[in-house]
């Protein structure tokens, strides 16, 4: 009996999270010892009244498991995008650690990675879809070229192979193949986002970061993009962190959700639970004010 329990425990332990984030904090400004106590949902601000430092996010802890979709919801300025940008290596966090299963046996802090390692993480381990396609795509390089950039970073050196792979990705994202050699600058917003997703998926990442990817798209296009993401997720088993201020997107995509306010996580749990029975006053407000 004892051995069986031990075995069960061992089996539970086998499922280590894909990503563990501990105490992620990012300040913009000099900072003072009172920054954290003077900001947050209790004080209703993320600007320190003592020194004027902006606390973009503070003491954020969470895990992402393989094949899971984690939602992060919150109003503008709640620190959602900063959180993603820290994870992707765009900005360095002020404090905190993060561990990825496939990086240094899950023991090496990705925030301490050298710039070469950070690029490896960006090119091979993660994919990022940004709110503004102009940031995620080179608008004056062809759609195929944008995807090729990631393949070329992975040392693909055969044009025919590159075109086949980028064509397949665009096809999967329902971008017409005859637009492969056109510039994304002349694409519609929805199509730009789909090219971005294709680009992010090029090197089979294990973690996909989606930053407000449907903001600014009309509802029917939004639904199409969300469906595609769900399908791709089911096919490839990639883990996704999706950031949105739109509860509808979170409801459709994610199984678990973090609710952020003034740079802190105020609630964290199963999406259904949060939507049906919100605990924190802010979440209650958020749920009651969304009409969906």
Partner 1 sequence: MLKDLITTEENYNYAFLDEGSKREIRRNLLKAVAIPGYQVPFGSRELPIGRGWGTGGLQITLSLIGQGDIVKVIDQGTDAGVNAANIRRLIERTAPDVTTTFQTSEATIIQTRHRIPEEKMQAGQLLVLQVPLPEPLRLVERSENATRRMHADKNYSRMWVALYEEIVKHGLLARAYSYPVMVNGRYVMAPSPIPRWDVEKLNNAEHLSLFGAGREKRLYAVPPRTAVVPLDFEDYPFTVEDFHGIRCQRCGAEHSFLDEITTEAGQKTYMCSDTAYCDEQVAKKVAEREMQKEFAG
Of the two residues 144 and 205, which places its CB atom closer to partner 1 in the complex? Answer: 144
Does 141 interact with partner 1 (rule: CB under 8 A)?
A: yes
Does 158 interact with partner 1 (rule: CB under 8 A)?
A: yes
Of the two residues 152 and 223, which places its CB atom closer to partner 1 in the complex? Answer: 152
The distance of closest approach from Cβ of residue 96 to partner 1 in the complex, given in angstroms and rounded to an integer, is 24
The distance of closest approach from Cβ of residue 163 to partner 1 in the complex, given in angstroms and rounded to an integer, is 8
Provide the residue count of the chain. 292
The distance of closest approach from Cβ of residue 172 to partner 1 in the complex, given in angstroms and rounded to an integer, is 20
Of the two residues 32 and 153, which places its CB atom closer to partner 1 in the complex? Answer: 153
The CA dihedral of 270, 272, 273, 274, to the nearest 10 degrees, is 90
**Quick one: which of 148, 169, 232, 240 contacts partner 1 (CB under 8 A)?**
148
Residue 123 DSSP label: I
Does 124 interact with partner 1 (rule: CB under 8 A)?
A: no
Does 149 interact with partner 1 (rule: CB under 8 A)?
A: yes
Does 119 interact with partner 1 (rule: CB under 8 A)?
A: yes
State how beta strands 69-74 and 256-261 pair.
parallel
Does 291 interact with partner 1 (rule: CB under 8 A)?
A: no
Q: CA 17, CA 106: separation in Å to the nearest integer? A: 9
72: left (phi over 0), alpha (psi -120 to 50) or beta: beta
Q: What Cα–Cα distance (Å) separates residue 119 from each residue in 96, 113, 129, 229, 255?
A: 20, 9, 16, 24, 29
Task: Show the tokens assigned to 281.
Answer: 């006053």
188: left (phi over 0), alpha (psi -120 to 50) or beta: beta
The distance of closest approach from Cβ of residue 236 to partner 1 in the complex, given in angstroms and rounded to an integer, is 22
Residue 100's closest CA among 239, 259, 267?
239
State how beta strands 19-28 and 95-100 pair.
antiparallel
The distance of closest approach from Cβ of residue 117 to partner 1 in the complex, given in angstroms and rounded to an integer, is 10
Q: How many residues bind partner 1 (CB under 8 A)?
A: 21
**Quick one: which of 51, 153, 228, 287 contacts partner 1 (CB under 8 A)?**
153
Residues that bind partner 1 (CB under 8 A): 115-116, 119, 123, 138, 141-142, 144-146, 148-150, 152-153, 157-160, 162, 181
């Amino acid at each position: 009996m004892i051995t069986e329990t031990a075995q069960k425990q061992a089996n539970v332990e086998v499922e280590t999270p894909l990503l563990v984030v501990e105490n992620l904090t990012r300040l913009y400004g000099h900072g003072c010892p009172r920054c954290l106590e003077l900001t947050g949902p209790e004080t209703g601000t993320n600007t320190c009244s003592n020194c004027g430092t902006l606390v973009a996010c503070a003491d954020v802890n969470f895990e992402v498991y393989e094949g899971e979709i984690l939602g992060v919801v919150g109003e503008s300025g709640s620190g959602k995008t900063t959180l993603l940008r820290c994870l992707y290596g765009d900005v360095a966090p002020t404090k905190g650690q993060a561990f990825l299963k496939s990086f240094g046996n899950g023991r090496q802090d990705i925030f301490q990675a050298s710039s070469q390692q950070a690029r490896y993480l960006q090119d091979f381990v993660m994919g990022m879809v940004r709110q503004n396609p102009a940031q995620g795509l080179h608008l004056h390089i062809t759609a195929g070229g944008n995807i090729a950039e990631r393949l070329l970073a992975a040392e693909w050196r055969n044009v025919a192979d590159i075109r086949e792979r980028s064509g397949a990705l665009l096809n999967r994202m329902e971008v017409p193949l005859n637009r492969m050699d056109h510039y994304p600058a002349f694409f519609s917003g929805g199509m730009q986002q789909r090219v971005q997703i294709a680009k992010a998926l090029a090197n089979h990442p294990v973690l996909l970061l989606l930053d407000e990817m449907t903001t600014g798209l009309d509802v029917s296009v939004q639904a199409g993009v969300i469906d595609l993401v769900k399908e791709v997720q089911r096919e490839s088993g990639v883990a996704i962190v999706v950031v949105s201020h739109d509860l509808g997107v979170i409801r459709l995509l994610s199984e678990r959700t973090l609710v952020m306010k003034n740079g802190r996580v105020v609630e964290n749990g199963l999406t259904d639970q949060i939507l049906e029975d919100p605990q924190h006053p802010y979440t209650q407000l958020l749920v009651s004010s969304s009409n969906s």
